[in-house]
Structure 1
Amino acid sequence: MATHAFLPTATWSGKLFEGQWSPGAGTQDVVEPATGERLGEIAMADPAQIARAAATAANAQRDWASAPYDTRAQVLRRAAQLAEEHNDEIVQWLVRESGSTQLKAGFEAKVNTKALHEAAALPSRSIGEVLPSEPGRLNLARRRPLGVVGVIAPFNFPLYLAMRAVAPALALGNAVVLKPDPRTAVCGGFVIARLFELAGLPAGLLHVLPGDGAAGAALTSDPNIAMIQFTGSTGAGRKVGEAAGRHLKKVSLELGGKNSLIVLDDADMDLAIANTAWGVYLHQGQICMATGRVLVQRSIHARFLEKLVAKAKSLKVGNPADGEVAIGPLINAQQRDHAARIVAEAQAAGATLATGGGYKDLYFEPTVLSDVSRDNPAFHEEIFAPVAVVVPFDTDDEAVELANDSEYGLSMAIVSSNVGRALKLGERLRTGLLHINDQTVNDEVINPFGGVGASGNGTSIGGPSNIDEFTQWQWMTVKGEAPAYPI
């Protein structure tokens, strides 16, 4: 790393964060996916450490919830200021630990700071309503903090997808136990811990505990945890949702997607290609909103495919730390092998490999699959790699049918020069996020973000939905004196 002024290695090496930096139950190496270089080691938490953290957080939360609203806002504002001051170092951690390109890492650091600024405004928001009632009775509905929120965050946008839950939960008076993915525990966990530590967050309110599945299971079952906010795969999310439900916890699940970008025959071809390349290849396709299917009207399909293949071949693949590249490494060999398996199975099922399909180490070539039918594995499975799946269609009705043929329902997009036509088509799509004349990968922090079907459990996070997610209603009435009831 070029500089360690913000997060010195000695601060976190072999440790985790419990309001102070402490040893864990074991350690795990921090490995740079681009080179295989060891960057250090993190401590790992076991279920006993999760339990202690949850109890400590529950005790600390009571004073935090009753603190003046501006006290909480000041901590969030200071954390945002620190994120801006140390932006370059944070970006480099994202590049080296998560394999992000410079462009993607810069964007993620920016939205992370924006999430902190937005959260800083939450403590001063209205937290309730005055309801009508009988004369002499004050009838109130107010939002109250949940208590301790458990956050389980993924590896792909590790910083922002953790912060988008941590920041509003703290701002609204909760404590947080964050379990970042151990593969990205520094940029997706310890950066957050350091920001709030330096911002003056009282000790005990935030715990950052990397851990394995047993640690995650402990989080979902602990009696001091009121809510689980999980972002990750649908398979893991089903287990988290089942466990949280069994223990009667509130749960927010932000899961996978097989997102369709529909290119209509009246689209500007160059803009359609640019949107497709961004949606498919950004961060090597390791994004829940990545464009998993490119549905192209048949009359322009051949020309579109030719241009997309040329675009894929032009994308530079390499170590993001060495300069500007379009495609960096996948997170690990397991993810690489998953992508290679689907590409091979797709070809066996009749798809054509138009370009790519190979890999070296963790670098997967920008790939284009064509002639993909509805019964092809590449049509249905989330690949999480730089693979474009191109499917032709004839009519707008067929485009809707193809796009909706999925258990997922996270993000969809339509590119067309006729906005009215696109809107009419879009009204029929089963998706949580819909973008007209854009691609599928979008998040502005101030928007409610959530999917339908296997992409989530009907909850949203971000913007106006944060108060709903991280608080609960309390009904309260006040009378001048107690009534004399007749029995």
Structure 2
Amino acid sequence: MSNFISTSGFLGQFIAGQHRAGRQGDVLKVSDPYDNSLLAEFLTASLDDVNEAFSVAEQAQKSWASKLPSERSAVFHRAAIVMDQYRADIVDLIIRETGGTHTKANAEWAATRAGMMEAAELPMRVEGRIMPINVPGKESRVYRVPLGVVSVISPWNVPLHLSNRSAAPALALGNAVVIKPSEETPICGGLLLAKIYQEAGLPDGLLNVVNGDIPVIGDAFTLHPVARFLSFTGSERAGRAIASRVANSPTLKHIALELGGNSPLLVLDDADIEQAVRAAVMGRFLHQGQVCMSTNRIIVDKNRYEEFTGLFVEHVSRLKFGDPKEADTVIGPLINARQLQAAQALVAQAKASGLRQLLGGEAQGQVLPPHVFAPVPEDSPLAQTELFSPIAQIFISENDRHAVQMANNTSYGLSSAIFSKDEGRALQLSMQIEAGMVHINDITVNDSPFNMFGGVKNSGLGRFNGEWSVASYTEDRWVTIQRTPLQYPF
């Protein structure tokens, strides 16, 4: 690994353009999920560190917002060059910190780079409006202006991309950013991203990263009065707690919540079964199922169930699991022992309830082999659980209407997929599915620059990418010009 990305160069915090230790004094250890080897250890942030990060962000933002659009855009073009230059090192670090396989790590690298290229275009997409107004001699204008400082709380599963997905557009549109990554992935989730942007010439103070214990800095970060917008990606439980705190905080702020999912994949009776199987396997087992858009429920028409299930189990049985550093490994370790225990509890619950297990195996370290249960009853507790592990469940639908009913029988509504050779039929069903995103003849795991990303119901609030980012990270300002003096009544 190059000196540029060596973990020894990260000291836990990145504030005002400097890597430094936190002042709280507690130690945060970062380990490889596969072999538990120590990657780094940091001193955690204090409340003073948090306050300083927001203070320098507030100061730096004012001059940044006044930069020419082309000047802001250039930073992101240079960041993409840095991504290219250090691709192998970045991919390796993603594998070692997240436990992701080569497939997942390269996909995360590509998504992060694509987000930077998207951000490079955003400064040119901010538009104002001239509005009609019924007052003689008056002109009415609406400008789009940056919010100011944006705070980002990112998760551990796809940390580099999901931190950048909020930070890059916010910065491109003239804001400053403070990131609090997950304690599991403080490097990829923040410190590495800050290093890349610093190398790309982003001015000091615009992107700050604090790593600390939630009981110590959680509320201070979430409720900080300087931040005008809070972007959170994580569990529904944590999202609800954050939303409740923000709603009752002294300072109102915009908030975006990208929460859990229970994504269905519908296989209709006219589907290309082999392609549907490949998509279901990819959508379910990518990154051990630790993806919010992961295919959580596979719903197959009764006339194709036996064919689909046989091919699915055969395909899954060939997946290599184990060391994610080996290029052909498909399923690596779960992020920590807590996640493994939760997955094992789900398996035990499924067995205890009498579900038919078609594939399974004992954990090897934190690596859980792929599990398949089928057929799973619609009222099974498993059906309402975001599995976040390499466990697949297959359901049988009686017809299209029943398939849609099952797809919507969840409190979540993030992503979904439909497989059918009849595009019109699938399109009609797509409008009946209660999800923010529906993909026809593709996997549920989709995120593309300039295309809307977001869910409905308990999957969250707000939208990411493209013009939706412009709407999120800027606000309208109404300005009028009265050119003809008015006569006022008093």
Q: Which category of TM-score, normalised to the shorter sequence, fits these structures? A: over 0.9
Q: Check whether the contact 2:101–2:329 (CA below 8 A) recurs between aligned residues.
A: yes
Rounded Cα–Cα distance in structure 1 between residues aligned with 2:348 and 2:15: 43
Q: Secondary structure at the match of 1:335?
A: helix
Q: Distance in 2 between matches of 1:481 and 1:48?
A: 52
The separation in 2 between residues aligned to 1:389 and 1:45, in whole angstroms, is 42
1:196 alignment counterpart: 197
CA deviation string 1:107-163 (max 9, x = no partner): 110111111111011112233111112442221111111111000000111110110
| TM-score under structure 1 length normalisation | 0.96
Quote the Cα distance in structure 2 between the aligned partners of 1:131 and 1:234. Answer: 40
- Aligned partner of 1:218: which letter? A
Aligned to 2:466: 463
Alpha-carbon separation, structure 2, partners of 1:318 and 1:477: 64
Q: Does 1:439 align with 2:443?
A: yes
Contact map agreement 2:10 2:19 (CA 8 A) in 1: yes
Aligned to 1:430: 434
User: Identity rate of aligned residues, in percent?
Assistant: 39
Deviations 1:229-261 (A, max 9, x none): 001111101111111222221100001000000
Would you say 1:292 and 2:293 are equivalent positions?
no
Letter in 2 for 1:4: S
Cα deviation, 1:16-61, whole Å, max 9, x if unaligned, reads 4442111102321110011111112133223332122112211211
State the Cα distance separating 1:383 from its structure 2 match.
Answer: 0.9
Decide whether the 8 Å contact of 2:12 with 2:19 is kept in 1.
Answer: no
Match of 1:4 among 2, 5, 15: 2
Check the 8 A contact 2:360/2:370 in 1, yes or no.
yes
- 1:203 deviates by 1.3
The CA distance in 2 between the partners of 1:14 and 1:430, in whole Å, is 41
User: What TM-score do the two structures reach when normalised by structure 2?
Assistant: 0.96
* Other-structure match for 2:375: 371
Amino acid at match of 1:22: R
**In the aligned structure 2, how far is the partner of 1:287 from the partner of 1:424?**
27
Q: How many residues align?
A: 484
CA deviations 1:44-98 (Å, max 9, x no partner) are 2233321221122112111111222222112222112111211111111101110
Residue pairs, 1:102-251, within 5 angstroms: 102-133=102-133, 134-214=135-215, 215-247=217-249, 248-251=252-255
Q: Secondary structure at the match of 1:226?
A: strand
The gaps in structure 1 that reach 5 residues or longer are none
Q: Which amino acid aligns with 1:32?
A: D
In structure 2, the partner of 1:95 is 95
2:322/2:332 contact within 8 Å kept: yes
Distance, in Å, in 2 between the alignment partners of 1:162 and 1:222 is 19
Three-state SS of the structure 1 residue aligned to 2:447 is coil
Q: Which residue, 406, 418, 423 being the options, matches 1:414?
A: 418
| Mapped contact 2:7–2:39 kept (Cα < 8 A) | no
Give the match for residue 50 of structure 1. 50
Q: CA deviation at 1:13?
A: 3.8
Give the distance between the partners of 1:453 and 1:300, measured in 2 at CA.
30
Q: CA RMSD in A?
A: 1.4
* In 1: Cα distance, 2:248 partner to 2:136 partner: 42
Within 1, Cα distance between the matches of 2:271 and 2:117?
A: 37
Q: Does residue 1:381 correspond to 2:379, yes or no?
A: no
CA contact (8 A) 1:102 1:323 kept: yes
The residue that corresponds to 1:20 in the other structure is 18
Aligned AA (1:244): V
Given the superposition, is the C-alpha separation of residues 467 and 449 from structure 1 closer, same or farther in structure 2, using an over 3 Å criterion?
Answer: same
Contact 2:80 2:113 in 1 (8 A): yes
Is there any run of 5+ residues in structure 2 with no aligned partner, and where?
A: none
